Amino acid sequence: MRRTGAQPAGAAARPTHGRLRPGELAEVAVLGDLGLVLEVIGWFIPLGSIFQALAILPFAVLSSRHRLRAGVIAVLAASSVGFIVGGIGIVLQTFLAGTVGISIGTTYRRGWTPLASLLATIVVAGLPIAAVTDLIDWISPGFRKLSFAQVHIIVRDAARTLDGLGEARMAHSLSTAYDWAFAHWWISIPAAELLAITVVALICLRLRVFLGMVTATALSPYTGGVAEREEDAEMPVVPVPARIEDVRYRYAGSYVDALVGASLVVEPGRLIAVVGPNGSGKSTLVRVLTGRLEPSAGRVVRAGRPGYGELHGTATVFQRPESQVLGVRVRDDLWWGMPVQDRGDPGPLLAMVGLEGMEDRESSTLSGGQLQRLAIAAALARRPSLLVSDESTAMVDREGRDEVVALLDRLRLEGLAVVHVTHRLSETAVADVVEQMRDGRIVASGPPRADSTIRGAPELRATVAGEQVNAEQPPLVRLRGIGYVYADGTPWAHRALAEVDLDLRRGEGLVVTGANGSGKTTLAWLLGGLMAPTEGLALIGTEPMRAQAIDSAPARVGVAFQHARLQLLKPTVLKDVMIGGDEEAAREALAAVALDPDDIGPRRVDDLSGGEQRRVALAGLLVRRPELLVLDEPYAGLDDEARLALAQVLHHLRLEYGIATVVVSHDLDNAEMLGARLVLLDAGRIVLEEVLAS
């Protein structure tokens, strides 16, 4: 049996031989494309050299995390696409950025000093690139003249400016220097490139601490940052049975353990549900189980290696599908990174997750719930022995959740080991055992229980149902004949909304629901003024909603997105909320969302739970005194206590401040806590409006 205990930092080594693994290929694609995009932007805009220099970083990150061949393949692939996009010029720029990035990333990974890294970059990148450029300029005089033409424009304008300032001698010297450089191009061009590469390399070396931060970060959905030891590479893939024995884990920079004495047994043919509030350690536990984290103390016992992302190994489906879906088409994503011989017919897999007939659909056109189902199908395509569902139902509607849970149950019956992390006790009914976590500890272990009622929910439902809205006042929001078509006028046009009529008054709470793909998020963005309808009229007061959302100050509309962390831009809570106002207003806004400014104000936003982050994001919107708040899937990823707290905050804002709230959610569990009125969308149309009863 393999016994895995605590390991010193850096003990885990990256694979050094064999073909690129799925995770490496995924990062090659993502980071290579990012480098190319930066180069293309830099080629076509003023001061584009800034973006071209930034293009070095994706290649440096890739090379600091993976083998040399990963960086080389990324550069070659990006350069090939660059030639199609912009010709030889972008190819050279991409090749330059990639070569410098590979040198910096590789030397960092091997522990070289900054001086050694600089010299290596000059030798490995600078000299060959200078020689290649000289060769190209000698073969193609036209390309050489084009390159100097850009410089000539800059020199000419600078000389005219100097001459106008009375510095005629300096202007003449500048023009003379340019003429000499043009005449002696075989010297001036490589010298300028070597100087530029040296300067850029020095700047990048100052950012080596950045590489240290990202080398431990998972960019790939199929590797999760797994760094298996080289001596384990030949071990068989046997993820289960597995035992976690008295494991502790503490993240770098933290002062407390994320796991404290956790023990767990996972066997084939069993489904384990892991439940607990936000920040209780659920995700850390499954990361240790899947080999993505080495415990700080304790051990993991299994017969082989977990084989993360490998055939018959370990697969994980996460809460946010957009971080997992990489393919352009559904069938591309399904087999992403898998050898051709391991692929099969996509039809049965897609039918199993409710995506039958979508093999050739572009993944960018899928709804959030459909993306989640595709992520599950991609995990199953690897025929795993251990499947971890880490909040995989958070972004799926009720019917979809039932289907996913039933699928997990069926997979368990077929012999898979399944671990399902969830906030919903109702999803634990099919589990063999439920592990309840709090503060990094497993506090209870046993069979599932039927009671899933949120304490305090019945009282809040009754209170929300009794909210009074003045029907005599004119509507705050009016939508008339609203329609929206994505990519309107193109072959890829897709209608999301049609003939939507809706009124909303001050202090009113509205819940918008519907199946995945019904148009909920599109309606939320229109209500938030983030985009204008392609048809119809959207007004807040008497003004177009789009213009008011952008131009008005204070803002009349505030939008809270699904992932609250993306809206928090400062390191500490109070500083983030103060972006929209002064300290007094920020403290008042925090109090309005039931957060103590003195307690939470100095805290780091990354130390907050999911529910706290969502309320801080709301406080940041309240500082600007909006009349309407639009929340897109606010329940996503929140435990029962956080859901109740959020619903209480929204009720308070409607009652005390007269703010209208629109909550867009596929999750109708306890929807009565979020507003007294419900709108149901189907295929982009309102098919039902009703008052929610307590």
- Name the residue with higher pLDDT: 688 or 149: 688
pLDDT at 204 (0 to 100) = 65
> In the chain, what are the domain boundaries?
22-214, 235-446, 458-556+626-691
Cβ atoms of 419 and 434 closer than 8 Å: no
Q: Is the pLDDT of residue 220 over 70?
A: no
pLDDT tier at 146 (50, 70, 90 boundaries)?
low
Q: Tell the residue number behind the tokens 């304790």, with chain if given.
A: 298
pLDDT at 268 (0 to 100) = 92
What is the edge-to-edge ordering of all strands in the sheet holding 417-421? 314-317, 386-390, 417-421, 271-275, 433-438, 441-446
The predicted-structure confidence for 339-352, as pLDDT tens digits, reads as follows: 777 777 888 888 88
pLDDT at 378 (0 to 100) = 86
CA distance to 394, 510, 511, 626, per residue, from 678 (Å):
21, 6, 5, 22
User: What distance in Å separates the CA atoms of residue 205 and residue 105, rounded to the nearest whole number?
Assistant: 10
pLDDT at 670 (0 to 100) = 66
User: What distance in Å separates the CA atoms of residue 298 and residue 201, rounded to the nearest whole number?
Assistant: 42
Q: Which two tokens stand for residue 216?
A: 């431990």
Q: Could you give the percent of the chain with pLDDT greater than 70?
A: 79
- Name the residue with higher pLDDT: 233 or 86: 86
Q: Is the pLDDT of residue 227 over 50?
A: no
207-211, 230-234, 506-510, 567-571 — which one is most confidently predicted on average? 506-510
Secondary structure of residue 390 in the 3-state scheme: strand
Question: Residue 32: which residues within 8 A CB-CB, separation 6 or more?
Answer: 58, 59, 62, 73, 74, 75, 77, 78
pLDDT at 482 (0 to 100) = 92
- Name the residue with higher pLDDT: 317 or 354: 317
pLDDT tier at 266 (50, 70, 90 boundaries)?
very high
The predicted-structure confidence for 396-432, as pLDDT tens digits, reads as follows: 667 777 878 888 888 888 889 999 998 777 788 889 9
pLDDT at 501 (0 to 100) = 92
**Interstrand relation of 433-438 and 271-275 (parallel, antiparallel or unpaired):** parallel
Q: Tell the residue number behind the tokens 């399902």, with chain if given.
A: 420
**Interstrand relation of 271-275 and 259-266 (parallel, antiparallel or unpaired):** unpaired
What angle separates helix 610-622 from helix 640-657, to the nearest 10 degrees? 20
DSSP string, 483-496: EEEETTTSTT-EEE
User: Considering only CA atoms, which of 301, 213, 206 is closest in space to residue 252?
Assistant: 213
Average pLDDT over residues 122-135: 73
The predicted-structure confidence for 558-600, as pLDDT tens digits, reads as follows: 888 877 877 888 888 898 898 888 888 889 888 888 888 888 8
Question: Residue 96: which residues within 8 A CB-CB, separation 6 or more?
Answer: 125, 129, 193, 197
Q: Is the pLDDT of residue 271 over 90?
A: yes
Q: Could you give the percent of the chain with pLDDT greater than 90?
A: 7
Q: Taking all residues of the chain, what is their mean pLDDT, rounded to a whole number?
A: 78
The predicted-structure confidence for 172-183, as pLDDT tens digits, reads as follows: 777 777 777 767
Per CATH, 22-214 and 458-556+626-691 having the same topology is answered no
Superfamily for the 235-446 domain: P-loop containing nucleotide triphosphate hydrolases (3.40.50.300)
Cβ atoms of 36 and 62 closer than 8 Å: no
Average pLDDT over residues 80-97: 76
Q: Is the pLDDT of residue 54 over 80?
A: no
pLDDT at 46 (0 to 100) = 59
pLDDT at 63 (0 to 100) = 80
Burial category of 347 from C-beta neighbours within 10 Å (exposed 0-12, middle 13-18, buried 19 and up) = middle
**22-214 CATH choice from 3.90.1210, 1.20.1260, 1.10.1760, 1.10.1060:** 1.10.1760
CA distance to 167, 269, 598, per residue, from 588 (Å):
58, 53, 11
The predicted-structure confidence for 541-559, as pLDDT tens digits, reads as follows: 888 887 655 444 457 888 8
pLDDT tier at 690 (50, 70, 90 boundaries)?
confident
Average pLDDT over residues 318-333: 73
Q: Is the pLDDT of residue 73 over 80?
A: yes
pLDDT at 272 (0 to 100) = 93
The predicted-structure confidence for 472-508, as pLDDT tens digits, reads as follows: 788 889 999 999 998 888 877 888 899 999 999 898 8
**CATH class held by domain 458-556+626-691:** alpha beta
DSSP string, 40-86: HHHHHSTTTHHHHHHTHHHHHHHHHHS-HHHHHHHHHHHHHHHHHHH
